[in-house]
Structure 1
Amino acid sequence: MFETPIHVIGTIITDPIRRRVGDQEVYKFRVASNSRRRTPDGRWEPGNTLYVSVNCWGDKLVRGAGASLGKGDPVIVVGYVYTSEYDDREGNRRTSLEVRATAVGPDLARSIAKVERPKNTDNTDATSGDAAERPGDAVEEDGETAEADDTRDDTALPMSA
C-alpha cells in the first residue's frame, strides 16, 4: 500500500482523547492549519483552513503527546495521510483527512516548551554514552561535564539573529 507522507503545522482544536483499542492505546485530536497570504498592499489576508484528524499510536508517542499537548496548543505533526469516507446523518457522502502520526511536538515558533526525557529502564533507545545526551548534564566549552543549573529562568529569552 502506498503511504503519502505529510507534515502539518497548526493548532489543536479539540480536547484530545486517549483510548485503548485492543492491546494498543491511541491519542486522537483534530488540528486546524490556517493559511494566509500577503496582499499587494502589504497586508495579511486569511486563506483557507485545513482540518485534519490526528491519530497517535504506540506507547511512547501516546505517552509523550498525552503528557505534553492539549486543546489550543500549536503543534507540528509528521506522519502519513489517509482519507476516510462515510455517510453523514442526512445520507450525504463525506470524506475526511486523517494523519497517522509518527511524530508530534509543540511548534516552538509559537510556544515555549521544556523537554523532559523519561528515564530509560530497558536501554533499547540508548543513543550514546555522551554526557551531553543525558538529562541533567551539560557539556561546557572545554569539554568538561557540569550539572545543569536547575535554578534557571524558563521564561522566553530574546534570540539573536
Structure 2
Amino acid sequence: MFETPFTVVGTIITDPIRRRVGDQEVYKFRVASNSRRRTAEGQWEPGNSLYVGVNCWGSKLVKGVGASLGKGDPVIVVGYVYTSEYDDRGGVRRSSLEVRATAVGPDLSRCIATIDRPKATGAGSGDAADTQDDASEGGEAGEADEVADGKALPLSA
C-alpha cells in the first residue's frame, strides 16, 4: 500500500478526544498550521492556513500524547496523510485531510518541555541515553547545558 509521508508544524486547536475502537485506543485532535509573511514595509501579515485531523494509534503514542499535550499546544506531527470522505448532516459529500501519526511532539521553538523517560526495566539496557542520564544526575550545568527555572537542560536532549 502506498502511503504519503507528511510532517506538519502547528497548534492543537481542539480538545483531544481519547476513544476505544475494538481492542485499540485512538487519540484524535485537529492541528492548524498558519503561515505568515513579511510585507514590503516589514510588517507581518497572516498567510494561508492548513487544518488537519490527527489520529494517534498505538498504546505508547496514545499514552504519551494524552499525558503531554492539549488544546493550544504547539506541536510537530509526523505520519501519513490521507483524505477522509463523508456525508455531512445535510447529505453533502465532504472531505477532510487527516494524518495517521507515527510521532507527535512539542514544537520546542515555541515552548519548553520536560522529558519524562521511563526507567529501564532490566539491568544493563545498553541504551546510551540511560548512561548519559545517570552520569549527569546530581551534577551542575556544564558547558553543553542551559539553565531554565533552576533546572539544567542538556542541549543534546
Q: Given the two structures, how large is their TM-score scaled by the length of structure 2?
A: 0.82
Residues 106-152 of structure 1: CA deviation (Å, up to 9, x unaligned): 000100000011234379xx5x343xx118835xxxxxx353359x9
Q: 1:48 to 1:22 in 2, by over 3 A?
A: same
| CA distance in 1 between partners of 2:56 and 2:97 (Å) | 14
| CA distance in 2 between partners of 1:69 and 1:135 (Å) | 28
Match status 1:3 vs 2:9: no
Q: 1:20 to 1:154 in 2, by over 3 A?
A: farther
| CA distance in 1 between partners of 2:19 and 2:39 (Å) | 44
| CA distance in 1 between partners of 2:35 and 2:77 (Å) | 16
Report the secondary structure of 1:90's partner residue.
coil
| CA distance in 2 between partners of 1:129 and 1:66 (Å) | 25
The runs of 5 or more residues in structure 1 that have no matched partner are 139-144
Amino acid at match of 2:19: R
- RMSD across aligned C-alpha pairs, in angstroms? 2.6
The structure with the greater share of residues assigned to helix is 2
What is the Cα deviation at residue 47 of structure 1?
Answer: 1.1
Residue 147 of structure 1 is matched in structure 2 by: 137
Matches within 5 A, 1:117-128: 117-121=117-121, 126=125, 128=126
| CA distance in 1 between partners of 2:91 and 2:136 (Å) | 64
Residue 134 of structure 1 is matched in structure 2 by: 130
Residue 142 of structure 1 is matched in structure 2 by: none
Percent of aligned positions that are identical:
71
Residue 95 of structure 1 is matched in structure 2 by: 95
Residues 27-78 of structure 1: CA deviation (Å, up to 9, x unaligned): 1111011011111222111012111110111111111111100011000000
8 A Cα contact 1:136 1:148, kept in partner: no
Aligned residues: 146
The runs of 5 or more residues in structure 2 that have no matched partner are 141-145, 153-157
What is the Cα deviation at residue 87 of structure 1?
Answer: 1.3
8 A Cα contact 1:33 1:49, kept in partner: yes
8 A Cα contact 1:18 1:27, kept in partner: yes
Amino acid at match of 1:80: Y
Q: 1:56 to 1:129 in 2, by over 3 A?
A: closer
Q: Given the two structures, how large is their TM-score scaled by the length of structure 1?
A: 0.80
| CA distance in 2 between partners of 1:28 and 1:122 (Å) | 33
Residue 62 of structure 1 is matched in structure 2 by: 62
